[in-house]
Amino acid sequence: MTTIGFVRHGITDWNIERRAQGQTDIPLNETGRAQARALAARLKNERWDAVYASDLSRARETAETIAAALGLTVRVDPRLREIHCGQIEGTIEEDRVLRWGYDWASLDLGIETDDSMIARGMEAVMDICASHPEDRVLVVSHGALIGTLLPVLIPHTDTSEHLHNTSITVIRKIEESWECGLFNCVKHLEQLAI
């Protein structure tokens, strides 16, 4: 049975500004790098067999920091990218309201659908399971993608809590279903003054 540890990337300046990143390639900031190092230190004494990551630098750098501590290399998969935010990428809520009005979320602004994210994310997860049927695999991705996949994979678990930067959620595939052993855990950040 495959075990997957979903990790949300470390924080970026755009996360702090609450700016829609989407697939814009925004790097980690220094706090995000410290978060990645803290998670790497936490995971280095655990058994993980592979590390996959989105090709966007914030996820890839988080994954590379973790993989280095584990003595592994990162396998990059663009299907693990964040939601494509269309015309709202790079904007904050205030910008969107000024440009499109308070009902901007009901407009067709080229934002990727949940169904599209689920399709590509599930395809990546199934391929990882096929390649690692008995392994423990870390998947470093993004808040919207992970947050959209988890209710599909573990519908019997409350996944409504906002996923924190560098949080880890561990699920294990048992036959055709998944069980959640850890959700949105950031205990590794306790020693950081964030």
CATH superfamily of 3-189: Phosphoglycerate mutase-like (3.40.50.1240)
Q: Rounded to an integer, what distance in angstroms lies between the CA atom of residue 109 and that of residue 85?
A: 8
Tell me the residue length of the chain.
194
pLDDT digits (tens, 9 = 90+) for 79-121: 999 999 999 999 999 999 999 999 999 999 999 999 999 999 9
Q: Rounded to an integer, what distance in angstroms lies between the CA atom of residue 27 and that of residue 24?
A: 9
pLDDT digits (tens, 9 = 90+) for 148-169: 999 999 999 999 999 999 999 9
| Amino acid making up residue 116 | S
Where do the H-state alpha helices sit in the chain?
A: 13-17, 30-43, 57-70, 93-100, 114-131, 143-153
Q: Is 133 helix (H, G, I), strand (E, B) or coil?
A: coil
Q: Rounded to an integer, what distance in angstroms lies between the CA atom of residue 194 and that of residue 192?
A: 6
Q: Residues with catalytic annotation?
A: 9, 82
- Give the predicted TM-score (pTM) of the model: 0.96
Q: Is 68 helix (H, G, I), strand (E, B) or coil?
A: helix
| Strand pairing report for 3-8 and 136-141 | parallel
Domain boundaries, the chain: 3-189
